[in-house]
Amino acid sequence: MAHLGTEATDGTLSFVKYVTKNPNWSKKMEFVIENKVQNAKVYDARGRIIATLSEGDKIRINFAKHTMKKFMGDKKNIAYARIRFGSGFSKSGHLKISKIRKPTGKKNVMEAEENAIKGINEALKKIGHPIICKVKKSDGPGYFTFKDVVACGNVRGTPKADFTLVNAKGDHVAFISHKKAGGAKAYQQYSGITETAGAEIYEHPETQKFLSNVIGFIENERLTNPMVMKVKSKKLINMSIYGPDYKKGTNYGKDHVHFIGQGDPIFKQDKKNPEIYYLTFSDNIHTSGDTNFRGDYEPAFFTRYTAGRGFEFDGKKYRGARVMIAPKVLAKGRSGLLEIKV
């Protein structure tokens, strides 16, 4: 088991190495629940169980130091981390550090998006002057053109955009959603479908149809079967992938991105004009309006049991199910999967 409660190769506690003493750690970094962990208890400050988390669930560590606690069921003081979890990481609690997977790989806890930001900024620094950045549109002819690009910047909060391209005046001229390399499974989801995802997504007839089916399979705050349903509306697909403010060809911003890139950013200089650079990504890139997501990437409504997660339907709150629009591959092979026909 490679979790934050184990000793690192240098003998220090993994939590201390990868969080407390890690200069790259921040409250925005995402960790995941350790492999084979099911229903790990999350406690509030009074020791009450407020949720459970399972393998692959995303969390953020909210404080750089762990604390020793003795909560319900503990026979002795145990090392706990203060975490944030749930939709938009809006919920907080205490979780055993032994339930959190230790970062692996060369760059450890560096987020994939932070790696991409760093890669873009390093490339721009190496070029040494403002550039004309072009991104080929994947939904038709032409390019997005961004002038005088000098840097890649962060986006505050949890909008659709993960980062931006910034021009010499300090203006954010391109809004980008980023996914780490690794195929469709690396996406986790395209969008939530609860009210927090935006009214147009939540109130869409297809969303409401899916939720109306899901509620029939929730018993005692637990979804009995994972469920999947095809998304037919192109507008709904666009909103889920590019942001709830999507409008074809306009209204770009933090909740309507110009494009979504997966993997490492790559700049290629134009052969005729040295000021022009074409931006692509190592896995793939899709620009706003492109709904041609096929195979494992095909968008689908999907729900699975997740303690503490839920939604509201017809004025009533339901818990025990995480609902989303996600690559269809996330539903593939799940035991008891039910497919809703459209």
> Of the residues 77, 99, 121, which one is the last residue of a structural domain?
99
Compute how many other C-beta atoms are within 10 angstroms of the C-beta atom of residue 87: 18
> Of the residues 39, 68, 99, which one is the last residue of a structural domain?
99
Longest dimension (CA), the chain: 70
How many angstroms separate the CA atoms of 227 and 118, rounded?
38
pTM over 0.75: no
* Position 107 in a domain: no
pLDDT of residue 13: 85
Together in a domain, 136 and 272: yes
**Sequence letter at residue 148:** D
pLDDT of residue 9: 52
Nearest 5°: phi and psi at 252?
-75, 145
Together in a domain, 140 and 20: no
Together in a domain, 163 and 262: yes
* Position 246 in a domain: no
Together in a domain, 85 and 217: no
Q: Which two tokens stand for residue 113?
A: 């998006």
Cβ proximity of 308 and 319 under 8 Å: yes
* Position 318 in a domain: yes
Tell which residue, 91, 96, 35, 40, has the closest CA to residue 309: 91
**Domains held by the chain: number:** 3
> Of the residues 99, 123, 146, which one is the last residue of a structural domain?
99
Give Cα 67 to chain centroid, integer Å. Answer: 27
Q: Phi/psi zone of residue 225: left (φ > 0), alpha (ψ -120 to 50 degrees), beta? A: beta
Q: What is the radius of gyration, based on Cα positions, of the chain? A: 21
pLDDT of residue 104: 62
Together in a domain, 80 and 219: no
Cβ proximity of 42 and 82 under 8 Å: no
* Position 312 in a domain: yes
Together in a domain, 45 and 173: no
* Position 243 in a domain: no
Instruction: Enumerate helices (H) and strands (E) in the chain, giving the number of each.
Output: 5, 22
Domain containing residue 21: 14-99
Together in a domain, 58 and 140: no
**What does each of the 342 residues of the chain score in pLDDT, given as a tens digit?**
579 998 765 567 889 988 998 867 888 888 999 988 999 999 999 999 999 999 889 999 999 999 999 999 899 999 999 999 998 899 999 999 999 998 764 343 346 778 899 999 999 999 999 999 999 999 999 999 999 999 999 887 778 999 999 999 999 999 999 998 889 988 879 999 999 899 999 999 999 999 999 999 999 999 999 999 999 999 999 999 999 999 999 999 999 999 999 999 999 999 999 999 999 999 999 999 999 999 999 999 999 998 778 999 999 999 999 999 999 999 998 999 999 998
How many angstroms separate the CA atoms of 43 and 50, rounded?
6
pLDDT of residue 321: 93
SS3 98: helix
How many angstroms separate the CA atoms of 15 and 163, rounded?
28
Give Cα 167 to chain centroid, integer Å. Answer: 26
Together in a domain, 131 and 148: yes
* Position 152 in a domain: yes
Residue-wise DSSP of 171-208: -EEEEEEEE-SSSGGGG--SEE-SGGG-HHHHTSHHHH
